[in-house]
Chains A and B, each alone.
Chain A
């Protein structure tokens, strides 16, 4: 493999790994801030110390996750210059601004206040301490906004002109208000809330079963976590739906590839499953529901959707000869994995709530036993979603403006990139084990009970 292909693998491995932690940070920071808000404002004498311990409990899990997110995030910031120098040159005038703004507005905020929050329990009054976790949550979620502003430009360039051999910013406001950002950001934020909620649910289920002394406290958080998760899931569905409709205008090739729709059709069917034959430009076999794809886009059961083969011809006309079709098989199945995982999580959250509100949680211990093992479902959905976003814009690194193949650093050798790719992968594996080990140890050994502080 050459430097280009290895750099793509490296970016895929390091972003996907980074994006294991990011959604947890987005959701769990808000959740931790919410419990601390309960702690600060509750009038209930008995509940107050429990709420404080719960804040520290989920806050600690948040901290372990946050540290992983921070260190893997630095790799991403460096990666653009290290492996994609020609991209950085071509896009720097536009891409650099949101990145620098992310550092100035969000990274400083979250990193400074996480320190204050972590070590400030005895040094600040309750309300200021509460303010610091809200600033952390705000900073984390603001940082996601800026990076998705940058990413949205790559998906759907706006407010630029091509001058001096590079993309130059013509309008900062249109960069920030790119309609693509709305879809990407809201979808990511709600995915974060879902993931954070599921972490709370999974950990609470484990504690309810195995730690009798802490059972009461975690019976509360499993309820709160499931509500949080469900709110996230509805948000994910809504934003996903709107974003899909927007994709029809912004990037039809990505959209039709997700649905493996090879020929232009009206009304367009939705394939539940298909055997995709990329070389022949068709599906050898498919189970399809007529009209549903049109319905997803136009809210009615008819309407034309352009097929991949026609879009390929249109692309060739516009950009010259070449293959403009992304990884249809990967996108098709990623989308189904993501939506399937979402639907499955809705059922889990609803069933958890049903058991909680009817006080049947402990009677249904096998469900509680299984719940923690299902947590990876959320991460599968997140990874699949990220793959759709990034895989769907190939062969472009910036849709219509620069191809991925033209973006790689020309001075790198395959050997160098192989070394760093193997290096990052190994370190990431070791760290994942260490972080999970520490988190499990903490969950196992930390009781949350009534009474004075431990």
Chain B
């Protein structure tokens, strides 16, 4: 495999990990006001992700860093093109991150309510924006021959991309709901999590079928049989996950939902290959692994680093999930 291809795969892996892991963090944040009806319950819901959300978010930061290192032109074009969208995402992530830390640090209902709102919007908005971004990537945006974005904020918001945003928000909310069915212990909370998982499970499947149709219509997805097949398999995975929810098999539901997210992400990158950003002005202006990459020298150093370090990261993040494997309960809430 060429180094550029390896990095294309690695970036796919990073985004897949990011969407699976941050997916449930976003989902839990979005469901917070609906599953946690009082302070103790909301703290319990939050404690399911409290030890791990920060590590999950680093998947996004690493994906960004990897893009910068391996495909600097993609990093430059993408981040400057999505300027205001990324600003909104940063605001959301800032508020959410600080809210996790500060929420329980002052005994006032107004204080807690403010930060609960920050967690809700700070989770829902990025979930939506990632959907917009992904659909824009595959749908294409105006990029000229100098790799510079020539549109504005509103070019990014087409009917198709807004629909993509809604699909991602639903998908991550569902992922969060299935995660909570695995992690919660208290009966009432667990019931609410299952009921949310059921209602969002239906939505995921229905919206994904429409999304598949729109995607074929708006992109060149049909040119890649593999991408199309993976996309259909993603819908199947979500459907099976939904049936597992109905059978109260929470682990199976969560794993299948994660598989659905993984297949969706991989499908997107397969459809893109060898491109990373599609130009709607002229196919020759698209950013690809050939015209947007770093030098073979830089890539070879980064390849060695990635091969040595990614497994280590996976091991200690795995250990962290193992340490916090016990279901969380309102009775076990510590001082935090």
Contact of B80 among A82, A104, A120 (CB under 8 A): A82
Contact of B65 among A70, A103, A423 (CB under 8 A): A103
Confirm or deny: A85 has a beta carbon within 8 angstroms of a beta carbon on chain B. Answer: yes
Contact: B68 with A81, CB < 8 Å?
A: yes
Within 8 A of B (CB), among A50-96: 63-64, 66-68, 70-72, 74-75, 77-78, 80-83, 85-86, 88-89, 91-96
Residues of A contacting B77 in the complex (Cβ-Cβ under 8 angstroms): 85
Instruction: A92 to B334: give the CA distance in the assembly, Å.
Output: 45
Stretch from B175-183, B260-268, B293-301 contacting the other chain? B293-301
Residues of B contacting A112 in the complex (Cβ-Cβ under 8 angstroms): 52, 54-55, 58, 313, 316-317, 320
Within 8 A of B (CB), among A95-109: 95-97, 99-105, 107-109
Stretch from B95-103, B160-168, B248-256, B272-280 contacting the other chain? B95-103
Contact: A77 with B302, CB < 8 Å?
A: no
Within 8 A of B (CB), among A103-141: 103-105, 107-109, 111-116, 118-124
Contact of B83 among A95, A111, A115, A416 (CB under 8 A): A416
Contact of A75 among B90, B101, B302, B320 (CB under 8 A): B90
Q: Which of A103, A114, A116, A118 has the most CB of B within 10 A?
A: A103
Contact: A170 with B297, CB < 8 Å?
A: yes
Within 8 A of A (CB), among B200-224: none
A169-B295 contact given A74-B90, A96-B75, A435-B98, CB 8 Å threshold: yes
Instruction: A169 to B93: give the CA distance in the assembly, Å.
Output: 33
Stretch from B37-45, B184-192, B303-311 contacting the other chain? B303-311
Confirm or deny: A434 has a beta carbon within 8 angstroms of a beta carbon on chain B. Answer: yes
Contact of A96 among B81, B153, B294 (CB under 8 A): B294
A92-B68 contact given A101-B305, A423-B91, CB 8 Å threshold: yes
| Total number of B residues with any Cβ neighbor in A under 8 Å | 67
Query: Beta-carbon contacts of B75-96 to A below 8 Å, as 1s and 0s?
Result: 1111111011011001101110
Contact: A411 with B80, CB < 8 Å?
A: yes
Confirm or deny: A442 has a beta carbon within 8 angstroms of a beta carbon on chain B. Answer: yes
Work out how many contacts link A and B, with CB atoms closer than 8 A: 223
Give the dominant DSSP class at A's interface.
Answer: helix
Contact: B58 with A107, CB < 8 Å?
A: yes
Instruction: A124 to B324: give the CA distance in the assembly, Å.
Output: 11
Residues of A contacting B147 in the complex (Cβ-Cβ under 8 angstroms): 89
19 A-B residue contacts at CB 8 Å? A68-B98, A71-B93, A75-B94, A77-B61, A77-B65, A78-B64, A81-B78, A82-B87, A88-B68, A92-B69, A104-B310, A104-B313, A108-B316, A116-B51, A119-B47, A172-B298, A411-B81, A427-B94, A431-B98
Q: Chain A: residues with CB nearer than 8 A to chain B?
A: 63-64, 66-68, 70-72, 74-75, 77-78, 80-83, 85-86, 88-89, 91-97, 99-105, 107-109, 111-116, 118-124, 168-170, 172, 409-412, 416, 419-420, 423-424, 427, 431, 434-435, 437-438, 441-442
